[in-house]
């Protein structure tokens, strides 16, 4: 899911091809995760594809849907870090990081390569296995990154983190309680730590207009509200829309808009 109820969406790991749902987790033009990374999900390229995915999702739980999606291809995301995360994390002192909806691990592995001790969670066991295999191929120390399968609506840990990131946590057509997951994410942030939420602010220019109308995208303001923060305990650093350039299907270059929320626990 890269991050799925745990899946992410900016194409979880860097640019990916234009597929069916807009879902976590790893820097891609249009994706998200449910518990597997995200940035990963894409907007359907045709009405027929959308109908097929919707019919399938109605027969499956989000975990089943995303696992079957990962099993259907050797890889879904590019493995590249999401640019918003790279920009933000590069300004922080490395510490412990948690990637919710980590997908195939693009963001988590980048964090580990840049001095962080990273933990990633995704709905799909297959996505997590691929991420750990990539970590071994990169020669990352065992203790520097850990990816595990879990449902972000129930997953828990006693650990607290200096950075918690949720990248493109969109899941269509298999719906997840996204606002609930975002609210739960605040509980994993250590005092002085940061929480980063990155989302698709609008469909990419190459998306099918009719298919895009079927999905409601959050705004930075609605994501901030979903966190339900106590102003006495949190500082809002960024609540804005950012633009970036990405390559879509068939090499099309387009401008994408991301919703970015960055807050700090006091």
pLDDT in tens, 3-36: 433 444 334 544 333 333 334 444 443 333 333 3
97: CATH: 3.40.50.150
Residue 201: domain span: 7-265
Whether 42 is covered by a domain: the verdict is yes
Residues forming a β-bridge with 120: 99, 147
Whether 190 is covered by a domain: the verdict is yes
Whether 143 is covered by a domain: the verdict is yes
Whether 12 is covered by a domain: the verdict is yes
Question: What ranges in the chain are assigned the alpha helix state H?
Answer: 47-57, 62-71, 83-89, 106-113, 125-138, 178-185, 209-213, 220-227
Three-state SS for 119? strand
Whether 1 is covered by a domain: the verdict is no
The Cα 261–Cα 229 span in angstroms is: 12
Whether 212 is covered by a domain: the verdict is yes
The Cα 121–Cα 197 span in angstroms is: 15
pLDDT digits (tens, 9 = 90+) for 81-140: 999 999 999 999 999 999 999 999 999 999 999 999 999 999 999 999 999 999 999 999
Q: What is the pTM of this model?
A: 0.83
Choose the weakest-confidence range: 14-23, 128-137, 198-207, 235-244.
14-23
Whether 219 is covered by a domain: the verdict is yes
Q: In total, how many domains does the chain have? A: 1
Q: What b-and-e string marks burial along 197-214, b requiring 16 or more CB atoms within 10 Å of the CB?
A: bbbbbebbebbbeebbee
The Cα 66–Cα 7 span in angstroms is: 8
User: Which helix (H) or strand (E) segment is 241 a member of?
Assistant: strand 234-247
Whether 2 is covered by a domain: the verdict is no
């Amino acid at each position: 899911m890269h991050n799925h109820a745990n899946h992410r969406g900016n194409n979880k790991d860097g640019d990916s091809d234009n597929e069916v749902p807009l879902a976590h987790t790893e820097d891609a033009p249009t994706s998200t995760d449910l518990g597997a990374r995200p940035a990963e999900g894409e907007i359907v390229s045709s009405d027929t594809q959308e109908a097929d995915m919707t019919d399938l999702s109605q027969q499956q739980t989000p975990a089943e849907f995303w696992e079957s999606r990962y099993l259907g291809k050797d890889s879904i995301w590019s493995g590249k870090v999401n640019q918003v995360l790279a920009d933000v994390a590069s300004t922080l002192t490395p510490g412990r990081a948690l990637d919710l909806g980590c997908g195939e691990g693009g963001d988590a592995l980048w964090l580990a390569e840049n001095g962080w001790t990273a933990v990633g969670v995704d709905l799909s066991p297959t996505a997590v296995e691929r991420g750990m295999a990539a970590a071994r191929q990169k020669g990352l120390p065992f203790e520097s990154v850990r990816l595990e399968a879990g449902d972000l609506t129930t997953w828990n840990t006693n650990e607290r983190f200096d950075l918690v990131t949720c990248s493109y946590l969109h899941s269509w057509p298999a719906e997840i309680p996204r606002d609930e997951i975002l609210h739960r994410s605040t509980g994993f942030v250590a005092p002085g730590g940061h929480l980063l939420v990155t989302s698709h602010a609008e469909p990419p220019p190459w998306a099918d207009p009719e298919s895009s109308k079927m999905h409601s995208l959050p705004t930075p303001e609605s994501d901030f509200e979903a966190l339900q923060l106590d102003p006495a305990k949190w500082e809002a650093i960024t609540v804005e829309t950012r633009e970036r350039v990405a390559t879509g299907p068939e090499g099309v270059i387009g401008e994408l808009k991301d919703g970015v929320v960055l807050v700090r626990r006091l």
